[in-house]
Chains A and B, each alone.
Chain A
Amino acid sequence: MEKENLNVEESLNIISEMISNTKYNISEDKFIYLMWGYAVAVSSMAHYVLQYQFGIEMAWLVWLTMPIAGVVNAVYFGRKKRKARVFSFTDRAIASVWKAFIAALFVFLFASPALGWNGIYPVLMVLYGIGTASTGGIIKYKALTVGGYLSMVVGFAAFYFGFETQLFLLSLSVTVSFIIPGHLLPKKVNV
């Protein structure tokens, strides 16, 4: 039955109940954070081992994991969008951050001949930091925010090291910005 005579307290209760009912839950995307974190961390370590321990020239081919992870990512979010029954402002804010991140990522990847891979990897670490620190800020999830800023610090340091060390630092960068916050995600982080 529809209650038409509410008192002030009842009205306020309804409003606050509905607000808490529509909170954003990042834990749904735990899989994505872990997938990207491990894909980048394992690929960079594999690149290092194959190239510098076994002397394999074509070691960079390990990065083919990225387009594969990209396809998994697209399928995941395509499905999520189809099933989504609600679209919040937080959803839009996070989607905007990551769309801009992907655009910037491609700008730097296409500019790699001009910058050289030595110059690219530190930039990528800073970019990871921007993406995760902004997302952490939007949803008030400290581990992601702190991880993002740490990734930027690692990126800064990476400018002063050679490619060999940068592969380690890249792995460290995604460990602090994606893997650790991903594992630390509780069942529900609501905003």
Chain B
Amino acid sequence: MFEPLDPLLHSQLRLAVMSLLMNVEEADFNYIKEKTNATSGNLSVQVNKLKDAGYIKVEKTFKDNYPHTSCRITDQGVDAFEKYLNALRSYIKPTD
């Protein structure tokens, strides 16, 4: 049986953001933008969707007098990502 894929993660940029944040403790907005080759506008929209779902935590502070946005994955986000990976597996593995 094919398991349903979480629509929030099954999208190019949101999946890239989540994969990146799975691998680090914290990353700033510009770093994510650079690594995903996204535009600020699009990334901002997708980051907000992930934040609203509780998958990531976004922190806005000031660093050297400049606004600084950093993101980190939440426990709920880690669970969702793991579920997504397991669901992906069901598409690869031959069914019994």
Interface residues of B (CB under 8 A from A): 5, 7, 10-16, 19-20, 22-28, 30-31, 35-36, 42, 46, 63-64, 85, 88, 91-92
Instruction: Specify the main secondary structure of chain A where it touches its partner.
Output: helix
The complex places the Cα of A114 from the Cα of B22 at a distance, in Å, of 48
The yes or no answer to A6 lying at the interface (CB within 8 A) is yes
Contacting residue for B46 out of A2, A6, A85, A91, CB 8 A? A2
Over the window 69-87 of chain A, the binary record of Cβ atoms lying under 8 Å from chain B Cβ atoms (1 yes, 0 no) is 0000000000000100111
Contacting residue for B16 out of A14, A82, A85, A87, CB 8 A? A14
Set of chain B residues within 8 Å of A10, measured between Cβ atoms? 12
Interface residues of A (CB under 8 A from B): 2-4, 6, 8, 10-12, 14-15, 17-19, 21-22, 82, 85-89, 91-92
Question: With A22-B35, A82-B63, A87-B24 known to touch, is A6 a contact of B15 (CB < 8 Å)?
Answer: yes
In the complex, how many residue pairs between chain A and chain B have their CB atoms under 8 Å apart?
Answer: 73
Instruction: Specify the main secondary structure of chain B where it touches its partner.
Output: helix
- CB atoms of B10 and A4 under 8 A apart: yes
A-B contact pairs, 8 of them (CB 8 A): A4-B7, A4-B11, A8-B88, A12-B88, A17-B16, A82-B64, A86-B31, A88-B25
- CB atoms of A8 and B19 under 8 A apart: no
